[in-house]
Structure 1
Amino acid sequence: MKAVFLTDTNQPLIIKEVEMPEPKAHQVLIKLAYSALNHRDVWIQKGKYAGPKSGLILGSDGLGTVTKVGERVEGNWLGKKVIINPSHDWGDDPAAFGNDFKILGNPEPGTFSEYIAVDEKYVHLKPAHLTDEEAAALPLAGITTYRALFTRAAVKRGEKVLVTGIGAGTALLALQYAIAAGAQVYVTSSSSEKIDRAKALGAVAGYNYKEEDWFHTAKNETGGFDVIVDSASGKGFGSLIEAARPGGRIVFFGGTDGVIGNIVPNKIFWRNLSILGTTMGTLQDFKDMLEYTEKHHIKPILDKVYPHLAHAQDAVDYMHEGKQFGKIVLTNV
């Protein structure tokens, strides 16, 4: 079968013929129709992500049809359209993953391929209200933002929520999930166009994080945020601490802007702020995310759909530019 292959750090992705996977016990074989990119694919290629740096089939998101099942598979999966939970081997403690935890696409073979074999416990029927492309774009962003908002930050109706870096797939789902929960949602971006598009989706207002002291304007207008959802970290994290109200929660799941530094400790402990890290989620988080998504008919926002796996490097380059508003999808067939 054909697969998108990373031969080495900072090398272009190539299409390579690899051996077709054979489903083992409890596994199903899925013929993938669509897959979707995440920023981790960019960082893996650049050697800035934990785990193997080369010899990988990338991709954590995908939709396809089950074509074969292994021994002792319990579900009636053959011929069903499914999506895949990319958060594998979490462990027994719902508070944090264990030593065996891994994410689909590194180190396990990912979804940028024609076929994939995965344990049936990670397979779920495609939500009926989503197109195939939308369903392919849901899993990683869905579980990440659902756990961040509800399992970790415990967002409540009426609270003020700030979502940073609007335009990313995770940020857009965080916006949609928080609005569905009855929160008042605000956003940040360096693009006025992206802020306007977020407001069209239901955001109350937006702030350009490139403007000096934007957080003072935001805090004066809102009184401070109950919950802040971030995926950048870096030097801008101090501004989020300034923007939070006393007793607020800052939940983050990425470090695209680098190391967090120059934090004034008393601005956290005097104001009783909670700084919450989160990564992916449990089997239950994924099930709850799907139920919530279907209940509220939430659809991932798509920016671009590429027509073939051969465009994988173009898609990664486009994501790295940071111009997208929504998920970037590859057609696998």
Structure 2
Amino acid sequence: MRAFVHEGNAINYTAIEDPVVKSGQVLIRMKVSGLNHRDLKIPQRRGDDRTPLILGSDGAGIIEEVGDAVTNYAIGDEVIINPGLGWKENSDAPPEGFQIVGMPDHGTFAEKMVIEADYIEKKPSHLTWEQAGVLALSALTGYRALFTKAQVKKGDTVFIPGAGSGVATFILQFAKAVGARVIVSSRSEEKRDKAVSLGAVLAIDTNENWHEQLRNEMIDVVIDSVGSATFNRSLAVLKKGGKLVTFGSSTEDEVTLNLRQFFYGQYQLLGSTMGSRQELREMLEFVDKHQIKPVVDAVFQLTEAKKAFDYLQESKQFGKIAIQISPI
């Protein structure tokens, strides 16, 4: 079969052995995979490892073969991949042994994929293949940050620095669906306009004075994945007693925090990452109930995966990037 792999300091579209189905597993003919920032970092983490590794954590396809002991799925079922392995029930943090599809084991950027039947779910019927293929990782991350951690509800005001990422776009859609108000920031006027068209009540320029821009707002929750570049600015516009949820760091990991200001402000700082299978299923029910559709910015063929990586690296997208594996 053909796949997009990392192998010894290089990422390439190449031929690789077909996977073999074992007991409890299914073989999926992949239709579409979703590209995530995690995929950009894996080649750096693996260095010059010459063992071919199929990249990719997100994807959707059709079951072509079912292993022994699989009773809840059949050949022909349309499914999505659960990218979080080993985290089934909701908990305060991932359990020991939690892994994400695509490292250390093979991922989704291939014509075929074998995975345990415990880590697939039925494809939401209202979604296209492109939408289904980009859904799970980013939407699950956003769902946990917004609802499990921040417990956002109707009437809350949520501020998202850095509009345009896949997770930020899902958070905007989810928050709007429950009646929360969403404010975003971006350096890009085009992304600010798109965020407003998607339901944001206000979109401010990241380079402007946030205090001035948000002087008439009471921010209940900030969900920040930018890191050190925005952390203290986010904290400064949060209402006293408000919640700041962080699930990533696209800038530097370390921040300087004024503890006295923090505890006098009675702020709540919450870390979040991915989510459990329980939350994934809750998210899929939520998406179906509200008929939410992922924003797909661009679709690349598997043969063009390098171009897709470059496109994401340049942060050109608003929403998700899909990689088409087979005809849809």
Residue 98 (structure 2) aligned to one of 72, 89, 101: 101
Q: Is the 8 A contact 2:89 2:277 kept in 1?
A: no
Q: Any idea what SS the aligned residue of 1:249 has?
A: strand
- Written as runs of structure 1 = structure 2, the 5 A alignment for 1:123-162 is 123-162=120-159
Structure 1 residue 266: Cα displacement = 2.0
1:221 and 2:219 correspond: no
Structure 1 residue 105: Cα displacement = 0.8
Q: Deviations over 1:213-254 (max 9, x none)?
A: x3212441203x111112111232110110111111111111
Paired residues in the alignment total: 325
**Unpaired stretches in structure 1, ≥5 consecutive residues:** none
CA distance in 2 between counterparts of 1:171 and 1:97 reads 22
Counterpart in the other structure of 1:325: 318
The aligned amino acid for 1:32 is M
**Normalised TM-score (structure 1):** 0.94
Q: Is the 8 A contact 1:47 1:53 kept in 2?
A: no
CA distance in 2 between counterparts of 1:14 and 1:30 reads 22
1:256 and 2:254 correspond: no
* Paired-residue identity, %: 39
- Written as runs of structure 1 = structure 2, the 5 A alignment for 1:1-333 is 1-9=1-9, 11=10, 13-47=11-45, 55-90=52-87, 94-211=91-208, 214-223=209-218, 225-306=219-300, 308-333=301-326
Larger displacement relative to structure 2 (225-234 or 151-160) = 225-234
The aligned amino acid for 1:266 is R
Q: Is the 8 A contact 1:218 1:243 kept in 2?
A: no
Structure 1 residue 310: Cα displacement = 1.4
Larger displacement relative to structure 2 (76-85 or 314-323) = 76-85
Structure 1 residue 48: Cα displacement = 9.0
After superposition, the CA RMSD in angstroms is 1.7
Larger displacement relative to structure 2 (200-209 or 254-263) = 254-263
CA distance in 2 between counterparts of 1:191 and 1:88 reads 36
The aligned amino acid for 2:304 is H
Q: Any idea what SS the aligned residue of 1:318 has?
A: helix
CA distance in 2 between counterparts of 1:317 and 1:175 reads 25
CA distance in 2 between counterparts of 1:21 and 1:201 reads 40
**Unpaired stretches in structure 2, ≥5 consecutive residues:** none
CA distance in 1 between counterparts of 2:88 and 2:262 reads 31
Q: Any idea what SS the aligned residue of 1:220 has?
A: coil
CA distance in 1 between counterparts of 2:230 and 2:35 reads 25
Structure 1 residue 8: Cα displacement = 3.3
